[in-house]
Structure 1
Amino acid sequence: MKAVIDNVVIAEAPRDELLSIEGNWYFPPSSIAEGALVESPTPYTCPWKGVCQYYHVVADGVTHSDGAWAYPTPYPSAFDRVGADFSGYVAFGRDVSVID
């Protein structure tokens, strides 16, 4: 599967390496294109997943604010709910198309 914005692939991995959580595809950290994400200072804590890290998505010189997020150290109880360790996996906002 691919995550694409402005005709630029910013993440790519086989479907069986992705996780679907609450309707969002989460890509493994190793699948993210180098330089595609820049940490954002936007704060958020999910009540069941834990502290979230937002990222600006950079594609072809254009920055899309808070276009991605991850949970670097999710709550351990979230692993049971998701069925896998999703530490550092990255999901994308509506500006990014995830295609099979």
Structure 2
Amino acid sequence: MPTATWNGTVIAQSDETVVVENNHYFPRASVREDVLRESATTSVCPWKGTASYLSIEVDGEVNTDAAWVYPTPKDAAAEIKDHLAFWKGVEVTD
């Protein structure tokens, strides 16, 4: 089962991830909301739309902008609506 881990803590786990551009996008319901922190950071992908970032906080340590989500993706990326992906040291294993 795909699992996202950071700082020794499981952040997300789901058998229903969507893989896009080699990134596992986890359904929002499978992600631990208690470790997520809102961020003002955004980026734009030409075919997916505007991504919003979230930081991860575990045991007082913060991994800034380590997760992203497309709240209103373009039609070509509709399957990742309400799904989060990770980077910046978050380990995702199958």
TM-score by length of 2: 0.91
Calculate the TM-score normalised by the size of structure 1: 0.86
Note the aligned Cα RMSD (angstroms): 1.1
**Aligned twin of 1:86:** 80
Instruction: Please list the CA deviations of residues 36-70 of structure 1 after superposition, one character each: whole Å capped at 9, or x if unmatched.
Output: 21111112111110110111011222110010101
Moved over 4 A (4+): none
Once residues 87 and 68 of structure 1 are traced to their aligned partners in structure 2, the CA distance between those partners, rounded to angstroms, is 14
- DSSP 3-state at the match of 1:10: strand
Alignment of 1:1-100 (within 5 A): 1-14=2-15, 17-79=16-78, 85-100=79-94
- Alpha-carbon distance between aligned partners in 1 of 2:71 and 2:59, rounded to the nearest angstrom: 26
State the shift of 1:77 in Å. Answer: 2.9
Alpha carbons 2:56, 2:65 under 8 Å: kept: yes
Provide structure 2 residue ranges, at least 5 long, that are not aligned to the other structure. Answer: none
For 2:67, give the aligned amino acid.
A
* Greater fraction strand: 2
- Segments of 5+ residues of structure 1 without an aligned counterpart are 80-84
Aligned length: 93
